[in-house]
Homo-oligomer: A and B are copies of this chain.
Amino acid sequence: MADRYQRGLDILRSLAGEDEPSTIRSLADIAPDLATYTVEFPYGDVYSRPDLTIRQRQMATIGALTALGYALPQLKFHVNGALNIGCTRREIVEAIMHVTSYCGFPAVINALNAAKEVFASREDPEDAGGEDGPADDRSRYDRGWEALARIDGEAGEAVINSLKDIAPDLARYIIEFAFGDLYCRTGLDLRTREIVTIAACVALGSALPQLKVHVHGLLNVGGTREEAVETILQMAVYAGFPAAINGINAAKEVFAARDAEQ
């Protein structure tokens, strides 16, 4: 049990960049046991697990905290934490932008403003700028359709088809904006984009059909079932056990469908 606390504290310290992290300090007088749990469960249990690197975990956390919308103090902590363990400003900005498709613009804009405050408080030499949209010559639609088919496969195409008779333009925007614009960006690899997507869909709670599509997506771009499960499990920390349990059940259906197909 002491191991669990110590292991968690080591990880939390490396993220916080200080020996006595402020989260713990601020809980000390009102709920000291929650301070202990915060070290033990999120960090000692979850963050120290294998199958995802700590950088992948930070990307997942940033995607989820963005999607929750109300968790800006925690987002700032984890943006800072991500920088402290070697993620770049560019990766962080890309992860936040990426979830626009899943939670909409308001949550993303507020998250970027929070990240901006963190960036301004630090002296990292790196600049978040230097962005580049897709360099591709194809139309947004052609580029997006190819990306959707490659990433989400049949599950993604089924979504598009289901919209064709009632809201064809919604289907087109998914192809053009979510895939042609966002998924085709550089700055964050596809596997990480799918991990971030899974995290955001689990955190939202009401996006289970889309979660299934993107569990397929992660596996289609070279991710593993373990990575999908770990990402979902981690959301118990940020969005609670119901979100994680419902997410795991969705993943289970995807795995069973893929097993049946082979």
Interface residues of A (CB under 8 A from B): 1, 23, 26-27, 29-34, 36-38, 41-42, 45-46, 49, 65, 67-71, 73-74, 93, 96-97, 99-110, 112-113, 115-116, 119, 128-129, 131-133, 140, 159, 162-163, 166-167, 169-170, 173-174, 177-178, 181, 185, 201, 204-207, 209-210, 229, 232-233, 235-246, 248-249, 251-252, 255
Contact = CB atoms under 8 A, between A and B. Distances in A.
18 contacts: A23-B109, A27-B109, A30-B112, A32-B131, A33-B97, A41-B177, A69-B70, A71-B106, A73-B106, A99-B240, A100-B240, A163-B248, A166-B229, A170-B233, A173-B233, A204-B205, A206-B242, A210-B241
A90 to B, nearest CB: 10
B69 A241 contact: no
A54 to B, nearest CB: 17
A45 B166 contact: no
Contact of A206 (B112, B206, B210, B249): B206
Contacts of A255: 166
A206 B205 contact: yes
Most B Cβ at <10 Å: residue of A29, A31, A209:
A31
Contact of A105 (B45, B104, B113, B237): B237
